[in-house]
């Protein structure tokens, strides 16, 4: 079985499968509004005051490496690629003052040929100021404070254009600043639009629906309209690419309308990716036979972001439950059934094939089968096998729901047949594997049953560590508290492999706070730089809490001074002598790997000449050399190469010796 997709590394999960089959089926529910409110959009000053186009920073076209990356087959459907921006990009922007005295900083960004862009902010600290991203028509924002997660780092929503404008309006008490209070770290260059060929890279792109010809318009099946409104397309940034998947809202037992979104584990399997999700709900035709939507930008959508609540690898069932920030009124929250549908049962899928608009497929359950998906065994008892009678599923359908009745979810798409650049419509029989909700339920039960839970709060919002020369600073203690007098059970999840937890679960009460040791694994932070991730705290169905963990990795680089004495070298009695001295002055041990004298290679003589090829931190080694015969008049050159012991950083030096 060839997969649409693959799974990432495993995370320890805690299933509770007991009596799962006895749980009463949950019916769907329609969300009429209220609850979590989306950010209120306001017009940016530049649009309101009709300011001229700002100065623009333009990237070049996509490189051959970028195109190769986007074109390469992979487990997930790539929508775009991340393009890094230089540190000095904000210097392109400028302050402007409108006719009404409004002061605003503005910059334009362009990525030629892009079908859409998202912007990555870092070190964001706008306070009461506001930041917008727009193209003169579509607006995203405003953003304020320290961004979406109060840690200074987030991705904006998408603007369907090859150029965007970023505007920053300071708060009323902000001092005049030469530069805005944030860094623009990168952007995504989107290559897939609503009606596109495999990749929108050429002048004729956009002429063909990427979905295969046998896919069915969901709006042509009136009995499935409610279920269809629970299905969304998500875009997110992970591994340097912007990815497209599908999924569905799932209801809690008490219809709390907490926006839990179920998709595939191979789609969303880390908190960083979950925080970049943008969900689209009405990316579909207006009615059966209606024209295809020109852009997903006009679709109703959720605010950007999310939190990863629970996930499982393909070997564990390939599922992911994400908490979205909000959803628009009118969407349906799917019901669910913890019992598996009998074989031959008619089943229905609603999804976004190849990143296209919403479609529907009809099939029935066939016999269980264990398959190998991207080198990982997908156990037959964890997946439902569905053979299609009408319609198919494709890349981009990943994570989409399987329904046993309108609005009753029984699985999520994990894998299916793929023909590369060919058509899936000609595959007969066409079989797809769906993660069984009967298995997923055991992992997400506390959320969907909305079990009473007391919030567990961290004593600090962030922790900072230093890793110097591969030695990490000591672990720190994080205090956890709660307002309940009873015992509240918590679970911790490290959202990066380099974060170490002293414990992953425990209990806490108002009278007895808990303390957990958090540290970093220096072995996984070999390269110098700044790293940031999170520890997420769960307490039943209570809102998750996050603690930002920062690590600054410093690796000392040696500084080797090469000197030759005496200067100049004189000849006495037909002989001459001199010495090469190598002194390390930065406190980092290193070793000499190569040596050339006037281009002649003497690397094999290093240990013999110096007595060693190692230079200790702040140490010195000396090579006393002498010769006889032809006197080499004039300047002679000694070239030396080396590598530092701790950092692995290479160095090169040239020393000159004059003979006269």
Q: What is the mean pLDDT of residues 16-22?
A: 43
Tens-place pLDDT, residues 275-304: 999 999 999 999 998 988 877 888 899 999
Distance (Å, whole) CA 456 – CA 508? 8
> What is the domain class of 560-659 according to CATH?
mainly beta
DSSP β-ladder status, 462-468 and 545-554: parallel
Contact 177, 170 (CB under 8 A): yes
Task: Supply the pLDDT for residue 176.
Answer: 61
Q: Which of 99, 91, 90 is nearest to 51 (CA)?
A: 99
Tens-place pLDDT, residues 517-551: 999 999 898 778 889 999 999 998 888 999 999 99
CB neighbour list of residue 489: distance below 8 Å, 6 or more residues apart: 505, 506, 507, 539, 540
How far is CA 538 from each of CA 274, 489, 535, 592, rounded to the nearest angstrom? Answer: 16, 9, 10, 52
Reduced to 3 states (helix: H, G, I; strand: E, B; else coil), residue 279 is strand
Output the six-digit token pair for 26.
């949950």
Reduced to 3 states (helix: H, G, I; strand: E, B; else coil), residue 70 is helix
Q: What is the mean pLDDT of residues 300-323?
A: 96
Q: What is the mean pLDDT of residues 450-477?
A: 89
Q: What is the mean pLDDT of residues 563-579?
A: 87
CB burial of residue 20 (10 Å; 0-12, 13-18, 19+) = middle
What is this structure's pTM? 0.82
- Other beta carbons less than 10 A from residue 37's beta carbon: 10
Distance (Å, whole) CA 442 – CA 18? 8
Q: Kindly report the average pLDDT of the chain as a whole number.
A: 88
pLDDT of residue 194 exceeding 60, the answer is no
Distance (Å, whole) CA 250 – CA 260? 6
Contact 446, 470 (CB under 8 A): no
Tens-place pLDDT, residues 59-101: 999 999 999 898 888 889 999 999 999 988 998 999 998 888 8
The CATH classification number of 28-38+212-448 equals: 2.40.10.120
Query: DSSP secondary-structure letter at 400?
Result: -
Do the two domains 457-554 and 560-659 of this chain adopt the same fold?
Answer: yes
Per the document, the length of the chain is 660
Task: Supply the pLDDT for residue 485.
Answer: 85
Tens-place pLDDT, residues 472-500: 889 999 999 999 888 889 999 999 999 99
How far is CA 649 from each of CA 364, 552, 560, 591, 619, rounded to the nearest angstrom? Answer: 59, 18, 13, 11, 18
May I ask the CATH architecture of the domain 457-554? Sandwich (2.60)
Task: Supply the pLDDT for residue 298.
Answer: 82
In sequence order, what are the beta bridge partners of 366? 385
Query: DSSP secondary-structure letter at 26?
Result: B
Contact 397, 212 (CB under 8 A): no
Q: What is the mean pLDDT of residues 33-55?
A: 81
Contact 439, 336 (CB under 8 A): no
In sequence order, what are the beta bridge partners of 554? 468
**Cα atoms in the 13 Å half-sphere on the side-chain side of 360:** 22
In sequence order, what are the beta bridge partners of 578? 625
Q: What is the mean pLDDT of residues 129-137?
A: 94
Contact 194, 292 (CB under 8 A): yes
Q: Which residue has the tokens 């609503």?
A: 194
Distance (Å, whole) CA 637 – CA 656? 5
Distance (Å, whole) CA 115 – CA 471? 45
DSSP string, 82-142: EEE--GGGGGG-EEEE-TT--EEEEEEEE-TT-S-EEEEEES---EEEEEEEESSS-EEEE
Question: CATH number of the domain at 51-190, out of 2.30.30, 2.60.120, 1.10.10, 1.20.1070?
Answer: 2.60.120
Contact 83, 57 (CB under 8 A): no
DSSP β-ladder status, 29-30 and 56-58: unpaired
Distance (Å, whole) CA 109 – CA 117? 9
Per-residue pLDDT band at 397 (split at 50, 70, 90): very high
Tens-place pLDDT, residues 201-256: 444 444 478 899 999 999 999 999 999 999 999 999 999 999 999 999 999 999 99
Q: Which of 436, 432, 381 is nearest to 4 (CA)?
A: 432
How far is CA 448 from each of CA 11, 250, 334, rounded to the nearest angstrom? Answer: 20, 8, 11
Q: Which of 128, 126, 136 is nearest to 161 (CA)?
A: 136
In the chain, where the domains are located: 28-38+212-448, 51-190, 457-554, 560-659
Output the six-digit token pair for 53.
């186009």
Per-residue pLDDT band at 37 (split at 50, 70, 90): low
Contact 542, 463 (CB under 8 A): no
Reduced to 3 states (helix: H, G, I; strand: E, B; else coil), residue 226 is helix
CB neighbour list of residue 573: distance below 8 Å, 6 or more residues apart: none
Q: What is the mean pLDDT of residues 556-565?
A: 91
pLDDT of residue 174 exceeding 80, the answer is no
Q: What is the mean pLDDT of residues 613-642?
A: 88
């Amino acid at each position: 079985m060839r997969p649409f997709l693959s799974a990432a590394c495993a995370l320890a999960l805690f299933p509770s499968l007991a009596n799962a089959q006895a749980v009463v089926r949950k019916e769907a529910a329609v969300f009429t509004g209220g609850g979590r409110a989306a950010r209120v959009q306001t017009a940016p000053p530049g649009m309101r005051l009709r300011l001229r186009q700002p100065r623009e920073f333009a990237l070049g076209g996509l490189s051959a490496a970028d195109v190769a990356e986007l074109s390469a087959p992979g487990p997930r459907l790539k929508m775009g690629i991340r393009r890094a921006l230089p540190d000095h990009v904000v210097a392109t922007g400028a302050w402007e003052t409108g006719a009404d005295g409004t002061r605003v900083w503005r910059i334009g960004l362009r990525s030629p040929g892009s079908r859409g862009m998202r912007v990555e902010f870092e070190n964001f600290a706008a306070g009461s100021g506001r930041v917008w991203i727009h193209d003169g028509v579509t607006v995203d924002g405003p953003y304020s404070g320290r961004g979406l997660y109060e840690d200074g780092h987030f991705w904006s929503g998408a603007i369907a254009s090859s150029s965007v404008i970023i505007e920053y309006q300071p708060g009323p008490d902000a001092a005049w600043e030469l530069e805005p209070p944030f860094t623009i770290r990168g952007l995504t260059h989107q290559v897939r639009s609503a009606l596109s060929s495999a990749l929108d890279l050429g002048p004729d792109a956009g002429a063909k629906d990427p979905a295969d010809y046998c896919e069915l318009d969901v709006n042509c099946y009136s009995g499935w309209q409610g279920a269809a409104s629970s299905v969304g397309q998500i875009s997110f940034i992970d591994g340097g690419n912007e990815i497209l998947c599908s999924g569905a809202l799932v209801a809690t037992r008490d219809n709390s309308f907490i926006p839990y979104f179920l998709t595939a584990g191979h789609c969303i399997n880390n908190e960083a990716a979950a925080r970049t999700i943008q969900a689209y709900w009405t990316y579909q035709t207006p009615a059966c036979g209606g024209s295809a939507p020109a852009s997903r930008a006009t679709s109703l959508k959720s605010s950007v972001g999310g939190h990863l609540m629970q996930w499982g690898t393909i070997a564990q069932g390939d599922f992911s439950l994400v908490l979205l920030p909000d959803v628009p009124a009118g969407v349906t929250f799917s019901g669910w059934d913890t019992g598996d549908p009998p074989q031959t049962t008619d089943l229905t899928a609603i999804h976004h094939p190849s990143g296209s608009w919403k479609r529907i497929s009809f099939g029935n359950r066939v016999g269980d089968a264990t398959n190998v998906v991207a080198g990982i065994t997908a156990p037959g008892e964890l997946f439902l096998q569905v053979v299609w009678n009408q319609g198919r599923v494709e890349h981009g359908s990943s994570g989409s729901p399987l329904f046993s009745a309108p609005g009753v979810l029984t699985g999520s798409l994990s894998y299916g047949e793929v023909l590369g650049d060919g058509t899936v419509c000609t595959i007969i029989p066409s079989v797809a594997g769906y993660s069984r909700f009967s298995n997923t339920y055991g992992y997400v039960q506390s959320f969907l049953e909305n079990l009473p839970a007391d919030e567990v709060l961290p004593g600090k919002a962030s922790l900072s560590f230093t890793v110097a020369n591969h030695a990490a600073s000591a672990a720190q203690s994080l205090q956890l508290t709660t307002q309940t007098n009873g015992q509240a059970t918590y679970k911790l999840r490290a959202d990066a492999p380099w974060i170490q937890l002293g414990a992953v679960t425990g209990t806490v009460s108002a009278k007895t706070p808990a303390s957990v040791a958090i540290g970093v694994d220096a072995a996984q932070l070999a390269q110098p730089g700044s790293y940031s991730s999170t520890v997420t705290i769960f307490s039943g169905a209570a809102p998750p809490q996050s603690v930002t963990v920062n690590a600054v990795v410093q690796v000392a680089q040696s500084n080797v001074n090469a000197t030759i004495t005496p200067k100049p070298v004189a000849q006495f009695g037909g002989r001459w002598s001199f010495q090469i001295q190598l002194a390390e002055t930065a406190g980092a041990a290193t070793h000499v790997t190569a040596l050339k004298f006037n281009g002649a290679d003497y690397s094999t003589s290093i240990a013999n000449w110096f007595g060693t090829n190692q230079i200790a931190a702040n140490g010195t080694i000396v090579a006393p050399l002498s010769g006889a015969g032809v006197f080499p008049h004039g300047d002679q050159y000694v070239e030396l190469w080396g590598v530092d012991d701790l950092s692995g950083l290479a160095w090169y030096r040239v020393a000159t010796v004059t003979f006269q």
